[in-house]
Chain A
Amino acid sequence: MKDEKNRSLFYLDELSDYKVKSGDPDVRGWHVKDKDQRVIGKVENLLVNKNTEKVVYLDVEVYPSIIDANHKPYSGTAQDGVHEVMNKDGENHLIIPIGLVNLNHDEEVVNTNEITHKTFAETKRKRKGSTIDREYEIIVLDSYNRNDTKYPEDDSLYERDEYDTKNYRNT
């Protein structure tokens, strides 16, 4: 885990001297839909990599349909020793890698064409505004990918397809 001084992921509203680039969409407040076009929540914040000046994750506040499903979070290879960790009360936010979404500008909707409602419900959540560390990032990636991928510890993680918007759109 990186310490506070070396962290590169920030909520956009933490960076008072930064804003969404002119011409790019500010998706905060947009609804998020799953693979089957069910609304699972809305974008509340943007997680940005200050070094690359790009949005890396959408911070989504999920709606009760996800919470009420009461699924146990998916435990993959990265969570050795934490298999029985459940989502707790008040943990109603999750993150979605930017490469896993498409934007509908006309309707102001974020579509997640590969992620089902069940997958969202089985993804480990966090509290609003919690610091995002590498461990949580890998738990989320494991939940969405459901394979035995070994993720890099450094920022080369963000060179993966989950963060490559061009690659995602071509699939």
Chain B
Amino acid sequence: MAEIEIEKKNPIWPWILLAILVIAALLYFFVWADDGTDDVDDMDDMNTEQVYDNNAMDNETADYQDAENMQYVALINEYDTYINDPQMGLDHEYANGALMKLISAVDATANELGVDIESDLEKARKEAQSITEDPLKVTHANSIKDSGKHILTALKTIQTEKFPDMSNAYSEIDSAFSKIDPGKETLNQKMEVKSFFNKVSSLLNSMK
């Protein structure tokens, strides 16, 4: 077939006009309209969100604080329960368990009060953990003495910074601690060891 016809091209200007209208509409909605009366609404939205956020933050902070309170109180109670458990004999195993729970309770109390005693407690932990590695420490009270001196330093820091009127209670702990002889077996100085743990418990419970 040889017949060839021609036709007018589709005019391009309607498309250009349409594109201009679309761009103009977008500008209106996203730029000019947003700079107008909508400002007030935006501010309201921001305030509302901010108030909501503050409440949420307060609630979250409170919940978090409650959880921390619960944690340090729980650890003190756990320590009390452990040292007063009649099923436990006053041997080296008991002493080691009591020391570890005491360290945890003191640590949580210090965190709750915002007192930095981490280095002392770290040393106390190392001494307590070495009990299982050293045969002499297993049988002798030197494990309590080595670890306890760091715990006492930590307790003294807390008492001085946060509870200056409890210096007597601390002195009683210090006195009880000095009566433990590191050279004697734990089983032969049950009363002294028990007295030390009880007096520390008394102080920690006073700090709740």
B43 CB–A CB distance under 8 Å = no
Verify B6–A17 contact, CB threshold 8 A.
no
Verify A21–B9 contact, CB threshold 8 A.
no
Mark interface residues in B136-151 (1 if CB within 8 Å of A CB, else 0): 0000000000000000
User: Of B1, B2, B3, B8, which contacts A17 at CB under 8 A?
Assistant: B8
Q: How far is the CB of B14 from chain A (nearest CB, A)?
A: 14
Complex CA distance for A22 and B7, rounded to whole angstroms: 8
How many chain B residues touch the partner (CB < 8 A)?
A: 10
A149 CB–B CB distance under 8 Å = no
Among the 9-residue stretches A67-75, A85-93, A96-104, A129-137, the one with 4 or more Cβ atoms under 8 Å from chain B is A96-104
Among B11-39, those with CB < 8 Å from A are 11
What's the A-B contact tally at a CB cutoff of 8 Å? Answer: 56
Complex CA distance for A21 and B1, rounded to whole angstroms: 14
- For the residues of A in contact with B, the DSSP-based class is mixed
Verify A21–B2 contact, CB threshold 8 A.
no
Verify A24–B3 contact, CB threshold 8 A.
yes
Q: How far is the CB of B97 from chain A (nearest CB, A)?
A: 93
Complex CA distance for A154 and B5, rounded to whole angstroms: 21
Among A122-171, those with CB < 8 Å from B are 165-166, 168-169
Verify B2–A24 contact, CB threshold 8 A.
no
Verify B6–A103 contact, CB threshold 8 A.
no
| Chain B residues in the interface with A (C-beta under 8 A) | 1-9, 11
